[in-house]
Amino acid sequence: MIMKTMRATQKKRIFTFLYLIQCVVINLLANNMYLVETQNTVMVFSGKIDGKFLLQYFGSKPGDVLQIEKSGIGLKTEAYPTFGIECTEEKALQATHIDGNLSTDLYLKSVDFTTLENNVTLTKVSLYDNKYPFFVTLYYKAYIKEDVIETWSEISHKEKGNVILTKYASFFMPISTYNPWTTHFHGAWAGEFDIIEEKLERGMKTIKNHEGVRNTLTDNPSVIISFNGQATEEEGELIAGTLAWTGNYKISMDVSQKNRVNLKAGINEEESQLILKKNEVFKTPEFIFTYSDQGKGKASRNIHKWARNYGVMGGDKARMILLNSWEGVKVNITEAKMLSMIDDISALGGELFVMDDGWFGNKYPRMNDKTSLGDWVVDSAKLPNGLQPLVKRATEKGIKFGIWLEPEMMNIKSELFEKHPEWVIQQPNREIGLGRQMTMDLSNPKVQDYIYHVINNLLIENPEIAYIKWDANHHINNVGSEWLPANEQSSLYIEYHKGLQKIFQRIRESHPDLVMQACASGGGRVSYGYLKYFQEFWLSDNTDALRKLYMQWGASHFFPALTMASHVSVSPNLLTGRVIPLKFRVDLSMTGRLGIEMQPKDLNSEEWTFVKKAIENYKTIRPVVQFGDLYRLVSPYDKSDIASLMYVSEKQDHAVLYAFNLSDYLTYRIPALKLKGLDPKKSYKIIEINAETSESTNPLNNKVFKGEFLMDAGIQIVMKKAFQSVIFELIEIQ
């Protein structure tokens, strides 16, 4: 009886709920309004069929959205503004139709809403030009729990010839606010991801890339725009967005009028006029964005969660601890050295050995970076018995084997160039570019096939290979393709990347579990365009722990720890010469995906014991670091003399706190460090890991505190000398 009543009440509730939803939908439709919703945010659009499709609102859920109309706050701007009729402001799209008409005028045909899976919805908005058979479809994919929206568009036409696209953005959004600020991440080789935070004054601020291959070596295609002043980690309203493209990109913030920013993101069209054939569909790259009214920390956590759940290859799998051979031996590879490195990383408790550059080229052995790229055969002088003894030894030692490749490149001094000089990017009537190496023409399907088969054959012949470090150390010079017709040369930058992505897709179809690292002269490929296919990226060739702290800080705004390879290298650092104690170097690498980038033979016995223990510790904290929520506590950019961050498990039962001392004020007392993200009601025991002595002497070790106290009052960290560091594990106790 009771059961029956409960069921009846439940049914009634469900019915009422569905009825209410229906009412809201009918109400919205009657008002021609459409919502793209996540748990805490909403994008509100409006438009009648055959009328204009307008963006009205984006931000936190304001309750009854129907009030937007009467409140007058609606933005009332076209969701995808086009050039030609009204021409005074930035536009998302510009097309030249076959009769030369420069204008496009889009109207709403339909809005389709589908639930793709429990947590994901897709809204498809079909637009058409009322005078030309020209179509744009806008997609908004909403990830409800993560509060993230992914958007892209598809452009097509049925005109009797080619339409020329000179603007084709992925995303366009006007932001109406006082005092807008932007955070972006400037870089250069060996100095990637430097945080720049600046006020957006009237005029245009653009970050972009031109170089064709390593699209994030300069600025990263990620921005934060904060409203009403600078946002902090905890406070402030903002939009954070990142473009998932592998090639040249452009993100502009146009403060066209005081208090209004037009944010636009997409492929960099400057060198890439697009020829769109009849019935061809051009899909723009995805722009991924989130809104936060609780500062930058919340935005990062939203994007990180989305990345682990949807945006990164194998985002739910723990990453292996590895030794990479590059800084340890450079190109001077021998069988004996590789075997001893395999033995060493296995003895240290690592899980993977990666043989970097230098193993290939037979006719032209790879003795320096001027030869052999393209000839992916083992150098029989360096490795007379091939790869087999190496993969066999790795298997015997219980670890995986990985290998370095730079598949898109060719040196002139290579057998491949002798056979296929037409496969490199080049122009008619010009000397071939004689840089260190040349980029291959990936618009050509034969080149795509060649690259795919090089990798596929290597993996079939050596099924033990579990990891590829995919490098790309050059840009595009002499932009020109022997493959593309004369009138489509301006599509090369885009066709190159379509070709590259086809290769990635084929590799993923045949090798779904292979782990791949995106590397490009260091951090040239840190973007969700790559992470769709790759598990991780190499952040920088600069492995100096101090520089790395700043770079990782920047990258952590958009990329979660499990994507960020962070390797311990020698001191003095090979690039900067800076001397930094081993503990600091190891502790810092343990904030990302831990690896080693040196010859383990160079560790003395005390250091060896420390690294071995640290690897063991990392295995304990790995689930929290790689899958937990990040809280940036004290930024090195604030010149606070320390930097501190922490990760907290989803259940808030396990956390890891890091503090790094950057100054040598011996009398300076570090202010109390207030922790974040813990459960105020839970009790946590502090355990120091990676202590310098075999038993921790830290006064906080083994002490128990309530989460509330740790967050409200904090703890006193004692560090006197520069480059001291500390890691505390916090474990819930009942």
CB of residue 188 to ligand GLA, shortest distance in Å = 14
Residue 462 C-alpha from the chain's centroid: 30
Between 333 and 590, name the residue whose CB sits nearer to ligand GLA: 333
Characterize 8-22 residue by residue with b for buried, 16 or more Cβ atoms within 10 angstroms of its Cβ, and e for exposed: eeeeeeeeeeeeeee
Burial class (CB in 10 A: 0-12, 13-18, 19+), 430: exposed
Phi, psi angle pair for 350, to nearest 5°: -70, 175
At 672, list the tokens: 């109390």
> In angstroms, rounded to a whole number, what is the distance separating the alpha carbons of residues 324 and 327?
8
Q: Least Å distance between CB 365 and ligand GLA? A: 14
CB of 305 or CB of 474, closer to ligand GLA: 474
If the CB atoms of residues 326 and 417 are measured against ligand GLA, the closer one turns out to be 326
Task: For the chain, give the longest Cα–Cα distance.
Answer: 90
Please report how close the Cβ of residue 543 comes to ligand GLA at its closest, in angstroms. 9
* Burial class of residue 355 (count of CB atoms within 10 Å of its CB; 0-12, 13-18, 19+): buried
- Asked if omega into 485 is within 30° of 0 (cis), the reply is no
Environment class of 69 (CB within 10 Å of its CB; exposed 0-12, middle 13-18, buried 19+): middle
β-bridge pairing 564-568 and 536-538: parallel
Nearest to 122 by CA among 46, 37, 242, 240: 37
- Which residues on adjacent β-strands are paired with residue 151? 140, 287
- Neighbour count for residue 604 (Cβ, 10 Å): 9
Residues 458, 395 contacting (CB under 8 angstroms):
no
Minimum Å gap between C-beta 343 and ligand GLA is 22
CB of 48 to ligand GLA, least distance (A): 54
Range 476-495 burial, b when 16+ CB lie within 10 A, else e: bbbbbbebbeeebbbbbbbb
Cα 201 to Cα 261: distance, rounded to the nearest angstrom:
10
- Residue among 240, 205, 242, 261 at smallest CA distance from 77: 261
Nearer to ligand GLA, 326 or 483 (CB): 326
* Closer residue to ligand GLA in complex, CB, 412/519: 519
CB of 448 to ligand GLA, least distance (A): 23
694/23 Cα distance (integer angstroms) = 66
Least Å from the CB of residue 539 to ligand GLA: 10
CB-wise, 154 or 211, nearer to ligand GLA?
211
What is the Cα–Cα distance from 323 to 304, expressed in whole angstroms?
Answer: 26
**Contacts to ligand GLA by CB under 6 A:** 326, 356-357, 404, 471, 473, 519, 521-522, 538, 541
Q: Which residue is nearest to ligand GLA (CB)?
A: 357
Residue closer to ligand GLA by CB (options 194, 356) is 356
Going by C-beta distance under 8 Å and a sequence separation of 6 or more, which residues neighbour residue 574? 327, 543
Q: Nearest approach, Cβ of 406 to ligand GLA (angstroms)?
A: 7
Q: Show the beta-strand stretches assigned E in 621-682.
A: 629-634, 642-648, 654-661
Nearer to ligand GLA by Cβ, of 538 and 559: the residue is: 538
Q: The tokens 């001397």 sit on which residue?
A: 579
Nearest residue (CB) to ligand GLA, 236 versus 407: 407
Q: What is the DSSP letter of 556?
A: T
Q: 357 or 536: whose CB is closer to ligand GLA?
A: 357
d(CA 379, CA 357): 11
Q: How far is the CB of 157 from ligand GLA (least distance, A)?
A: 42
For ligand GLA, give the closer residue by CB, 230 or 325. Answer: 325
Rounded least distance, CB 522 to ligand GLA, Å: 5
Please report how close the Cβ of residue 368 comes to ligand GLA at its closest, in angstroms.
10
Phi first, then psi: what are they for 418, rounded to 5°?
-60, -35
- Evaluate whether 626 touches 319 at the Cβ level (below 8 Å): yes
342 vs 565 by CB, closer to ligand GLA: 565
Q: Which is nearer to ligand GLA, 305 or 567 (CB)?
A: 567
Shortest gap between Cβ of 369 and ligand GLA (angstroms)? 6
Name the minimum Å distance from CB 527 to ligand GLA.
16
Question: Hey, is 267 helix, strand or coil?
Answer: strand
Which has the closest alpha carbon to 323: 294, 347, 289, 291? 347
How far apart are the C-alpha atoms of 468 and 490, rounded to whole Å? Answer: 32
Q: Where are the alpha helices (DSSP H) in 681-729?
A: 707-712
With respect to ligand GLA, which residue has the nearer C-beta, 190 or 630?
190
DSSP 191: S
CB-CB neighbours of 213 under 10 Å? 27
Nearer to ligand GLA, 266 or 523 (CB): 523
Name the minimum Å distance from CB 553 to ligand GLA: 20
Cα-Cα end-to-end distance for the chain: 40
Q: Could you tell me which residues come within 8 angstroms of residue 313 by beta carbon, excluding any fewer than 6 positions away? A: 508, 516, 531, 532, 533, 534, 535
Question: Cα angle vertex 544, ends 542, 547, to 5°?
Answer: 80
Smallest gap from residue 519 Cβ to ligand GLA (A) = 5
471 or 688: CB nearest ligand GLA: 471
CB of 341 to ligand GLA, least distance (A): 15
Residue 575 sits at φ, ψ, to 5 deg, of -90, -45
Per the CB < 8 A criterion, the answer to whether 73 and 83 are in contact is no
Total count of residues recorded for the chain: 734
* Rounded least distance, CB 541 to ligand GLA, Å: 5
Q: How far is the CB of 569 from ligand GLA (least distance, A)?
A: 11
Closer residue to ligand GLA (CB): 146 or 327: 327
> Whose Cβ is closer to ligand GLA: residue 473's or residue 696's?
473
Return the structure tokens found at 205. Answer: 């601020």
